[in-house]
A and B are shown apart, each in its own frame.
Chain A
Amino acid sequence: MVALPIAEILLYVGQPSDGTWEHLRETVLFRYVSNTVILALGVALATLLIGVGCAWLVTMCDFPCKGVLRWALLLPLAIPPYLMAYALTDLLQYSGPVQTYLREYFQWTKQDYWFPEIRSLPGAITILTLSLYPYVYLAARTAFVTQSLCVIEASRTLGAGAWATFFRVALPLARPAIAAGCTLVMMETVAEFGAVDYCAVDTLSTGIYRTWMSRGSLEAAAQLSTCLLMGVVVLVAIETGARRQAHYFHTTQRYRDMEPWKLGRLGGAGVSVICCLPLLLGFVVPASIFIGMTLEHGDRRAWELMFELASNSLTVALISACLVCLLALMCVYAVRVTGSKITRVSNYVTGLGYAIPGGVIAIGVVACLLRWETWVIDLCQYLWGWSPGLFLSGSMVALLLGYQTRFLAIGLNLVQSGFARIPPSMDNVGSTLGATPLQRLLRIHFPLVRGSLLAALLFVFVEVIKELPATLILRPFNFETLAVRVYQLASDERLPEASTSALIIILVGLAPVVILSRLIDRSRPGLS
């Protein structure tokens, strides 16, 4: 059912689009595709550098502030990319405080100096990198923490120093996990609309909106979405391959507490500064900008509305997160028990949802629900001569279905990796002791994958709070969330007022992010 909206989009592909598709192909398609590819690769490379580098330093070295940085490096997860774009653009644009200060201090005029343009492709890469690197950091850190120390020690006794050990052993071993994290980043990047649109970069994602909104061609929008989907299929294939390889990369059951490498005073300070930079630019700066704006011009209505907005956001996020966990658990367990190909394929299609822009999913959801509603309305008209109206597409059902389609992939990913750690012998022991599949799920698997489920719950919760396009299109009439409020104010160029809701989004996202980080620290095997 969750995969239906995706199938719905594919249905439109074969339909003629009155020449819009041909027009797109001749004019902007190449630009859309090349920008999307450059953006995805640029963000992937930059997040790799920051995420893997910080994860290794924090796991293996001893330096000042390490304890705080370990979890604080995840904080940018609480800031949606579009908020990051608003904040950094406000800071670095021509009329922003940085350039204004430079002009005043050096008595420059516009022609006297060059300053990087934030509303550009490199600007978008920077913004998305700062807001998405935690995915790679998370994956790499989990991989490094759960790596067998024996292999690292074997490498050192064979004459490889700290750097050589990192490049020759630790990094190749963590490669599957890092590849998975990187794929997630690329999926997020190609699906991102708000930040990319704000930076005025034309990608497939913004193109789909423009085609649908300004040209009104659902067919051409669906055809563009298919281009995007093909790229995503490749990404998911890479991710699946990486996961399969990971199975072989875990060869030991023995772990030992790590003795972190002590850095000298200068080295320690240097590493601290390096690790603080992404946190500073990705969290402290944007959060401070919003705090400053709120204190100065806060949105009075937001404070009045806060309770309602926050409770709307929290309720929707919590229900969606629970549903995702439940569905993911059912899907993954079904594959484990039956091993059926149909279940496997449907899980795969569902997994694609994450990389499809929220707006595209919204189109699919609306189209799909309308189809069902039309059947029901026709049936009611025929039987009783009465119409129930748009009881699905105009209700919370549409919103929740949209979130499931978009975020089930996160749940599937995390729950799958949780299940992968349970050897099949556990199932066999359970069944020989007389436990039915349901009893095995409740008594064996559920306690063992609890950590992964909690991680999925928190991840989806934060994502739903941040999600904008799907919420904007699918929300029931008069139903406002924090993200919607921010978008409405920011698109009216009322950024200072939007800052209050933005700040609340960040605050609401903080707690789950901190809990997530704690979870990883405890995920080391052998640690009770």
Chain B
Amino acid sequence: MKRILSKGVIVQGLSHRYGDFESLRGVSLELVPGRVHCLVGASGSGKSTLLRNIAGLERPTAGSIHIDGQVVSNRNIQILPEQRNVGYLFQDFALFPHLSVARNIAFGLKSLSREQRRGRVTQLLQQVGLLEYEKAMPHRLSGGQQQRVALARALAPRPSVMLLDEPFSGLDTALRREVSEITLRLLRESETPTLMVTHDPMEALNCGDQISAMDHGEITQTDSPNEIYQRAIDAETARIFGPINELPVTKQGQQWHCQIGQIQPDWELYLREQSILIRPEMLRIEPAAGDAGQGQITRLNREVGGFLATVVTSCGGELFIRCGNEHSFDVGQHVRIRFVANAGT
């Protein structure tokens, strides 16, 4: 049977209120089949509200939502959640505790014969690697297994869009990687447009094909993981993805300068209005003799493959700098600071 591919989801100018609180302000977004779109932002920035609006669990105050080329929500139309054909993976999985694994997965399957339904359930159980748990009750499963059952249940009716609400936050680190790999592989294979909410920026950078950063109900930037990490639109957005150095800049003739020195032409893409935004790994430190150098290390945090050093510069500013294991540093040591050679990579 030839599958009709989903045409994706288009959200335009969506606004929503909880009483007096404006939880979404004119949000626009496009989800493409087979691609995973991640939403990141602080708690209360409106990520889950956007998901709930797309699912039809909330009613927007303005804007429109198209799923599969059909309007499901605008000023005049509000299609019920059960008629939207969306898959929703809840943070706590929300498995039906009174139904077995197989019956949980079969819950959303309609207009199929008993045999077809069985076939689909078996196929999904196989895909998520839980074939032997077909008859088990949800409370007998571990967190990771419950998550996979919830995924299989959401995928079973072949939804036009998949909405994931912090789907891996309940799992421990080791499980998280394994389960997220299975989940994203299945979603990409099934060509389902996916919107995933996460509060973990690393998860977004690893899982997403596109990332939108949200703040106070607005999308501040939508870009590829690399773009949004390296060239965030402002310091606030940049900070979501980890430490960032915001250095004031001055223009002398045709050249830009900051406290570390002159900024090369190929670095100008990191320039914002009166400053340059650079990640810790774009700077290097080297030991300086005696009290010489541009700064002094005040803190060293161990990371995989090196350290994150906090350096107070001679101008009084604080810089975050990532360094490998090639030099050994100590707190209180004086260092020289320089830009790494290749920018934008």
Contact = CB atoms under 8 A, between A and B. Distances in A.
Interface of A: 148, 150-151, 153-161, 164, 168-169, 172-173, 175, 248-254, 259
A497 to B, nearest CB: 53
Chain B interface category by residue count: 20 to 34
A251 B55 CA distance: 23
B86 interface: yes
Contact of B110 (A154, A159, A254): A159
B153 A161 contact: no
Nearest to B98: A172
B143 to A, nearest CB: 11
Nearest to B55: A157
A157 B57 contact: yes
A168 B82 CA distance: 14
Contacts of B81: 153, 156-157
Contacts of A249: 97-98
B108 interface: yes
B76 to A, nearest CB: 16
Contacts of B82: 156-161, 164
A93 B264 CA distance: 102
B137 A150 contact: no
Given A154-B88, A158-B154, A160-B107, 5 more contacts: A148-B94, A153-B94, A155-B96, A172-B96, A173-B96
Nearest to B81: A156
Contacts of B86: 157
A168 B99 CA distance: 10
Nearest to B88: A157
Given A168-B107, A175-B98, A153 B90 contact: yes
A248 B137 CA distance: 9
B122 interface: no
Contacts of B139: 248, 251
B147 to A, nearest CB: 13
Interface centre among B83, B90, B91, B154 (most CB of A within 10 A): B90
A75 to B, nearest CB: 32
7 contacts: A150-B90, A154-B88, A158-B154, A159-B82, A172-B98, A173-B98, A251-B97
Interface of B: 55-58, 80-88, 90-92, 94-99, 107-108, 110, 137-139, 153-154, 157
Interface centre among B81, B110, B137, B154 (most CB of A within 10 A): B81
A169 B99 CA distance: 9
A173 B97 contact: yes
A148 B93 CA distance: 11
A155 B108 CA distance: 8
A29 to B, nearest CB: 40
Contacts of B80: 156, 161
Contact of B97 (A158, A160, A248, A254): A248
B157 A154 contact: no
Contacts of B95: 151, 251
Contacts of A160: 82, 107-108
B153 A158 contact: yes
Contacts of A164: 82
A159 B58 CA distance: 16
A329 B138 CA distance: 33
A173 B138 CA distance: 13
A160 B81 CA distance: 9
A153 B90 CA distance: 9
A173 B104 CA distance: 14
B104 to A, nearest CB: 9
A157 B96 contact: no
Interface centre among B57, B137, B153 (most CB of A within 10 A): B57
Contacts of B98: 172-173, 175, 249
Given A153-B81, A254-B91, A159 B157 contact: yes
Contacts of A151: 94-97
Contacts of B90: 150, 153-154
B296 to A, nearest CB: 44
Contact of B92 (A161, A252, A259): A252
B107 A252 contact: no
A262 to B, nearest CB: 10
Contact of B157 (A156, A158, A250, A254): A158
Contacts of B84: 157
B87 A150 contact: no
A172 B85 CA distance: 24
A150 B154 CA distance: 14
B57 A153 contact: yes
Nearest to A174: B98
A253 B57 contact: no
